[in-house]
Amino acid sequence: MSKAVGIAVVRNRVKRRLRHLVRDRLDLLPAGSLVVVRALPGAGEADHDELARDLDTALQRLLGGAPRSNPPGGDPRNPGHPGGSAQ
């Protein structure tokens, strides 16, 4: 996890939250899947619910459930990136 996420305490908290969230969603993935979850710098300030929403959005895109778009508040420098806290 990048130091851009925050200090060690923050990085570890984000790591624990993401592990917990992914564990609850493993049954959505096809058997034998390998998935890398990368925390973006904003993940350190995101609460548990925001991380869950961003992870669900990323998994929907991964599994073909939602098209990529630039929602309000997205990153204008990168129109294909919604600007969330987890990728």
Q: What does the alpha-carbon distance between residue 38 and residue 30 come to, in Å, rounded to a whole number? A: 20
The CA R_g of the chain, rounded to the nearest whole Å, is: 13
Write out pLDDT tens, residues 40-77. Answer: 888 999 999 999 999 999 999 988 876 555 555 555 54
Helix/strand/coil for 39: strand
The angle at the Cα of 82, spanning 42 to 13, to the nearest 5 degrees, equals 25
The answer, as to whether pTM is greater than 0.85, is no
Q: For the chain, give every domain's residue range.
A: 1-87
pLDDT number for residue 20: 94
Domain at 1-87, CATH from 3.30.230, 1.10.3470, 1.10.3210, 1.10.287: 3.30.230
Residues contacting 17, CB < 8 A, separation 6+: 48, 51
